[in-house]
Every structure is written in C-alpha cells, then in structure tokens.
Amino acid sequence: MAEEKSELLLKEIVSADPRFHFEDNYVVVTSNNSKVYKINLNNGSVTIDGKCKCVQVKPGINLPMSDKILAKALAIAYAPERIHTLRN
C-alpha cells in the first residue's frame, strides 16, 4: 500500500513539475545548475553524461524506492550544490 501511494506521488510530481519527465526507465531531472541527470526507476541510480554518481537518501531509513527516487529528484533539481558527489 505504501509503495502504491509512493508511486502515485512520484507520477504526480513528475507530471506537474517542468524540471522532471519520464523517459524510458528513468526520471530525467534538469537541475538549478542546468545539468540533466537521469534517475533509474528500478534501482535509483543517478547518471549524468552516462557516468554514474553516488547519491544516497539518508542511510538506514527504509523507504519505498519511489520515495527514494523522489527525494533524489527534488534535491538534484533544487539544491544540487548540497550533494557533495554532484559538485564538479
């Protein structure tokens, strides 16, 4: 049940926010720094220009994958400078 609500919320936010869109098996995110990131919908991995970047939601918290993806997408879109591994 939590996973279904999580997936629905992810779809609603991606549809409503112009910084996000679905493409194949990814959420594509355009960040404040104008870079484009892809978040894999199956495992939550983040890539930019084909290179995988480590982006974690606080370890130890058991969240549905859709919630982790949403947390990553929002942080990448609106505060990429706060994610150490994306600063370059």
pLDDT of residue 8: 93
Q: What percent of the chain has pLDDT over 90?
A: 62
pLDDT of residue 27: 98
CB 83 within 8 A of CB 75: yes
Distances (CA, A) of 13 to 47, 70, 88: 20, 8, 27
Q: What percent of the chain has pLDDT over 70?
A: 95
The pLDDT tens digits of the residues spanning 15-57 come to 999 999 999 999 999 999 899 999 999 999 999 999 998 887 7
Q: 4 in helix, strand or coil?
A: helix
Distance CA 55, CA 84 (A): 9
